[in-house]
Amino acid sequence: MSARNRELMALVPVALLLTAGFAAVFAQENAQLDNLSLTYGAYFFAVCLATHFYLRVRLPNADPYLFPLVALLMAFGLVMVYRIDASLARDQANWFVLGLVLFAATIHFLRDYDVLERYRYTIAVVGLLLLMAPRLPGIGQQVNGAYLGVKIGPLAFQPAEFSKICLVVFLASYLREHREVLIVGARRVLGVTLPPLKHFGPMLVVWGASMFMLVFIRDLGSSLMFFAAFLALLYVATGRFSFVVIGMAMFLVGAWFFAATVPHVHDRVEVWLNPYPHARGSGYQVLQSIFAQADGGLFGRGFGQSLITIPGTDNALLPAAQTDTIYSLIVNELGLFGACAVILTYLLIAARGFKIALLADDGFSKLLATGLTAVFAIQAFVIVGGVTRVIPLTGVTLPFISYGGSSIVANFVLLALLLLVSDRARREGAA
């Protein structure tokens, strides 16, 4: 079966799952089946089909599983967000369509994505400006103590979501060019392999940017995500594990220093290590997230059964259920099994992404696919790890599931880039 036919076959069960999910939520809320769920299922399937045919024409050789897997996450997200608030789900569906439009546009305009290499410094600067934007007076917004949002007129978005793609593109290009010197020029000092200082400058810039984020954006999550993606790329490009160790040490030292000096970061770490004394304050979210999971058990309580607000009030029992803690809601309603399905979906996407990197011929494509996949997987890890207390809880979205336009649109652009690399790699492989 051709790649595109496999993709088509995979989309059918996803659409059916979404229909079943909506049916379950309707049944719970109105105690009756509503054929609206069929309508929603049909809309969803139509949008997926349109995308599928676009890919059939534009990228016939691209990986056939990535889009259905992402559609599965979208379906999950739409049902969960609908279950929280129907009007949010309408927004989410609009973001889904807008994301697909940008997805198509990316594929249309960046068919020859080598052009990205030419503008790498421009892209890097744009990425940094995007990161700094939330601190600019007039347009910046503070959310939960972190500066992540930008609001220009009616348009509000989270620039970090786009900035991560810029950073990966820049690093892939930079490391493709300098990887040889980084490997050859490395010296051993006291048994530790150090990179050559001259070429290490830009690396320090990335470290500096991560620390900058920690202090000025005050967001440990994005900072961790960016730096981990950087280390992953550095490791793949040079094959020097010692660089990763040095990088990690630098990050930890920096993070430790700022955790001790920046109150916001310090609180997050303190709450992570010991949430109970802060149960009514800063530890409320992470504790409620854990408590929601404790009530899920193996099979969960079922769609629509979870309490999100304290009944009779507007106070949240599970704060930010549609964004940060949506994973906890999934564990609560679908149980450990449902959560494993979500994690497995992310793992499969990562597997397909790294497969693309393996198949790609040229260094830039390899590093680009690796970086995009890594940053995507790490983003999922940072937020799921946050709500399960593996790491401190930060305000990163769960890609394609959490409510939020910037996240969905940016991740569709990321997906488009991955499919572009994939199409070229598999076309050349086939030829």
Partner 1 sequence: MNRQIVKLFGLVVVLFAVLIGFTSYWSVFDAQALREKNANKRPLLEQQQIQRGRILAADGTVIAHSVAKGHGSGKRYVRRYPQGRLYGHPIGYSFVQYGNSEFERFHNDELVGNESEFSSILDQLRGRNQQGNDIVTNLDPAAQATALADLEEAGFGAVVAIEPQSGRVKVMASNPPYDPNRVPYEFSKLSTNEIERPLFDRATQGQYPPGSTFKVVTAAAGLESGTITPETPIDAPGSLEVEGTPLENDFGESFPGATLDTALTNSVNTWFGQLGQQLGEDTLFEYMEKFGFNSTPAIDLPSGEVYKSGVFDGEELLNANDPVDLARVAIGQERLAVTPLQMALVTAAVANKGKEMKPQIWSRVVDPDGRVTKRLEPSQYSQPISAKTAEELTTAMEGVVTEGTGTNAAIPGVPVAGKTGTAETPGNEACGGGEEENQAWFIGFAPADDPKIAIAATVECTEEFGNDVAAPIFRDVAETILNGE
Q: What is the dihedral of CA 115, 118, 124, 125, to 10 degrees?
A: -110
* Chain centroid to CA 6: 25
385 binds partner 1 (CB under 8 A): yes
Q: Please, what is the Cα angle at 329 between 315 and 20, to 5 degrees? A: 120
CB of 295 to partner 1, least distance (A): 6
CB of 331 to partner 1, least distance (A): 5
Do the bridges between strand 146-152 and strand 140-143 make them parallel or antiparallel, or are there none, so unpaired?
antiparallel
Residue with Cβ nearer partner 1 (51 or 282): 282
Q: Which of 427, 417, 430 is nearest to 108 (CA)?
A: 417
Q: Are 271 and 309 in contact (CB under 8 A)?
A: no
252 binds partner 1 (CB under 8 A): no
Judged by DSSP in three states, 141 sits in: strand
CB of 79 to partner 1, least distance (A): 18
307 binds partner 1 (CB under 8 A): yes
194 binds partner 1 (CB under 8 A): no
CB of 329 to partner 1, least distance (A): 12
Judged by DSSP in three states, 8 sits in: helix
Q: Which of 225, 270, 234 is nearest to 397 (CA)?
A: 225
**Residue 118 CB: number of other CB atoms within 10 A?**
10
84 binds partner 1 (CB under 8 A): no
Q: Which stretch binds partner 1 (CB under 8 A): 157-165, 207-215, 263-271, 273-281?
A: 273-281
Q: Could you tell me how many residues of this chain bind partner 1 (CB under 8 A)?
A: 50
Q: Are 429 and 359 in contact (CB under 8 A)?
A: yes
CB of 356 to partner 1, least distance (A): 10
32 binds partner 1 (CB under 8 A): no
Residue with Cβ nearer partner 1 (26 or 346): 346
Binding site for partner 1 (CB under 8 A): 232, 235-237, 239, 276, 279-280, 287-288, 290-298, 302, 307, 310-312, 317, 331, 335-336, 339-340, 343, 346-347, 350-351, 354, 357-358, 363, 366-367, 370, 374, 377, 381, 384-385, 388-390
